[in-house]
């Protein structure tokens, strides 16, 4: 649907922005899980070149039909990145890397597949370049597994989280540096938030309330006030806040 295309395009733009490419020259980028080439369209518009890898022949057929400008490769990135050392000036990936955490075959070991992917990606990237991988992790364990294998392969960097306080707009970008450790870019929508966001913790979708780390605990006064504020913004009718809001009732005897 057009909504999906729009979100995909926004994430591609953000990923390329996080790459921090030089403005004075065209770069060659790798697009991991390129699908039908939507990210590639944006890369081409920006005046850069790209090669896309995807495991789905159907998606690549769509890319060919759309006459995308990049070169396409049918491959499983869990088997590694088959390009010569230092070939790419950057790598982006939109909603693909989390699939390496699934063991589809008996022989698949997610940590091994992730390590194979990251170690060969590290080699294929030029020194001083970056890889920006947007992903939808299922839980914090998955996030830690992915990040740990990236670091094991030699990358530095970490997770950039855009709009960490929004259930819908929250996006995870694993921002990795090759050979030089840059400063991790700030996530969007974090200006007003506290320092602890730099070490972004993944929260399960269901646990919307905040935890002990200085954030509102569920059913606390702050939590209730925030919820009422959200309702007001959605245009719903909400009772006015008073000194009694969120107050515990005494037990009845």
The reply to whether 58 and 113 lie within a common domain is: yes
Let me know whether 50 and 113 are in one domain. Answer: yes
Nearest to 201 by CA among 141, 116, 118, 128: 141
Distance (Å, rounded) from C-alpha 232 to C-alpha 114?
A: 44
Q: Name every residue whose Cβ is closer than 8 Å to that of residue 243 and which is 6 or more positions away in sequence.
A: none
Residues 190 and 220 in one domain: no
Question: Digits of tens for pLDDT over the chain (253 positions)?
Answer: 788 888 888 999 999 999 999 888 999 999 999 999 999 999 999 999 999 999 999 999 999 999 999 999 999 999 999 999 999 999 999 999 999 998 766 667 899 999 999 999 999 999 999 999 999 988 889 999 999 999 999 999 999 999 999 888 899 999 999 987 678 888 998 765 444 444 444 444 334 444 444 556 767 787 788 778 777 777 778 888 888 888 877 777 6
Is residue 88 assigned to a domain? yes
Q: Is 221 found in the same domain as 178? A: no
162 close to 189: Cβ distance less than 8 angstroms: yes
Burial 184-198 (b: 16+ CB within 10 A, else e): bbebbbbeeeeeeee
Total Cβ atoms within 10 A of residue 140: 12
Do 109 and 149 lie in a common domain? yes
Task: Answer yes or no: is 230 within a domain.
Answer: yes
Pair (74, 170) in one structural domain: yes
**How far apart, in whole angstroms, are the C-alpha atoms of residue 51 and residue 57?**
15
Domain hosting 186: range is 1-202
Q: Is the dihedral of CA 50, 102, 161, 147 positive or negative?
A: negative
Number of domains in the chain: 2
Distance CA 211, CA 203 (A): 9
CA distances from residue 81 to 13, 49, 119, 188, 193 in whole angstroms, order as listed? 23, 17, 9, 30, 38
Instruction: Give me the CATH number covering residue 184.
Output: 3.40.50.150
Instruction: State the DSSP code for 188.
Output: T
């Amino acid at each position: 649907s057009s909504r999906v295309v729009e979100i995909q395009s926004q994430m591609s733009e953000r990923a390329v922005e996080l790459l921090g490419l030089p403005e004075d020259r065209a770069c060659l980028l790798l697009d991991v899980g390129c699908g039908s080439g939507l990210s590639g369209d944006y890369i081409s518009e920006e005046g850069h070149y790209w090669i896309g890898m995807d495991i789905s022949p159907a998606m690549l057929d769509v890319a060919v039909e759309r006459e995308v400008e990049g070169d396409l490769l049918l491959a499983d990135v869990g088997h590694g990145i088959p390009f010569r050392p230092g070939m790419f000036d950057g790598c982006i990936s939109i909603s693909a890397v989390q699939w390496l955490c699934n063991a589809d075959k008996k022989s698949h070991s997610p940590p091994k597949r992730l390590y194979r992917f990251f170690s060969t990606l590290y080699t294929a990237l030029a020194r001083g370049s970056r890889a920006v991988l947007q992903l939808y992790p299922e839980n914090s364990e998955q996030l830690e597994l992915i990040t740990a294998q990236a670091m094991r392969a030699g990358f530095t960097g970490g997770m950039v989280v855009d709009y960490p306080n929004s259930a819908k707009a929250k996006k995870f970008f694993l921002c990795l540096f090759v050979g030089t450790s840059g400063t991790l870019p700030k996530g969007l929508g974090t200006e007003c938030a506290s320092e602890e966001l730099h070490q972004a913790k993944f929260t399960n979708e269901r646990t919307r309330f905040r935890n002990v780390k200085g954030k509102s605990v569920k059913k606390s006064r702050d939590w209730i006030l925030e919820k009422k504020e959200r309702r007001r913004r959605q245009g719903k009718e909400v009772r006015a806040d008073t000194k009694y809001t969120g107050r515990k009732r005494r037990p009845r005897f």
